[in-house]
Amino acid sequence: MTEKPKRAKRDPEGRRRAIVEAAAELIGREGTRKLTHRRVAQHAGVPLGSTTQYFSNIDELRRAGLEELGRLIEQDYDEMFRDIAKLGGTPAAFAQVINDYLSDQAQVEVDTAFYAAAVNDPQMRQLARASFELSVRRSLPYVDETRATALTVLLDGAMLDTCLRGEPIDPAVVTLAVESIFAAKLDPGDAR
């Protein structure tokens, strides 16, 4: 009752969402170098003016797109760790979930694009760092912090290499690495 939209188009939130999602998708597909108002507007199906109305300049628009990408990655993590929990949180569970993730090349490329964009953008590094820490935190129920960090590093490396090579890292490699990290004694000074 409080809403009385004069026209169907009166949906600022929806507009903004559409723009942000279009920006995120474009960044995921071709990086930030070719991101322009015009391309975002066209891809989002909104008039050019909207992209400048909702974002005071192109940097903000890019940032919004990257943040959206960051959010999607977080959802990825949520899902991955939900699956890990379902599978019992075992080393094998970690390995399988990671390998499943790596087999989705499109997803891997989008995620990597996010990190790639962050490399040369100080503000974005913040987000990437948060993402890193989230991954570590989510692993803590299953392993100590050192191992959790190692697993995160491994995941990030596998993601990057899978993206660049255009095909998943050999699952055996991931499985070996994950399981050996789990199996390692904490104090590396001790022999086995």
Partner DNA sequence: TATGAATGAGTCTTCATTCAT
Partner DNA sequence: GATGAATGAAGACTCATTCAT
Name the residue nearer to a second copy (CB basis): 17 or 104: 104
Nearest to 151 by CA among 125, 179, 172: 179
Query: Which member of 73, 128, 138, 142 binds a second copy (CB under 8 A)?
Result: 128
Task: Kindly identify the residues of this chain, within the stretch 9-38, that bind DNA according to CB under 7 A.
Answer: 9-12, 15, 34-38
Torsion, Cα 173 177 179 185, to 10 degrees, reads 160
Residue range at the interface with DNA (CB under 7 A); choices 20-28, 49-57, 95-103, 119-127: 49-57
Q: Does 83 bind a second copy (CB under 8 A)?
A: no
Q: Where are the alpha helices (DSSP H) in 31-166?
A: 37-44, 48-54, 58-86, 91-102, 105-119, 122-139, 145-165
DSSP-assigned letter for residue 170:
P
Task: Kindly identify the residues of this chain, within the stretch 156-185, that bind DNA according to CB under 7 A.
Answer: none
143-153 exposure pattern, b = at least 16 Cβ within 10 A, e = fewer: beeebbbbbbe
Name the residue nearer to a second copy (CB basis): 16 or 90: 90
DSSP-assigned letter for residue 184:
S
The Cα 36–Cα 73 span in angstroms is 23
* Interacting partner of 116 out of DNA, a second copy, none (Cβ under 5 to 8 A depending on kind): a second copy
Let me know the angle formed at the C-alpha of 27 by 60 and 67, rounded to the nearest 5 degrees. 50
State the nearest-atom distance from the C-beta of 77 to a second copy, in Å.
15
Using CB under 8 A, list all residues that contact a second copy.
29-33, 91-92, 95, 109, 112-113, 115-120, 125, 128-129, 132, 146-147, 149-150, 152-161, 163-166, 169-170, 172-177, 179-181, 183-184, 186, 188, 191-192
Site for DNA, rule CB under 7 A? 6-12, 15, 34-38, 46-54, 56-59
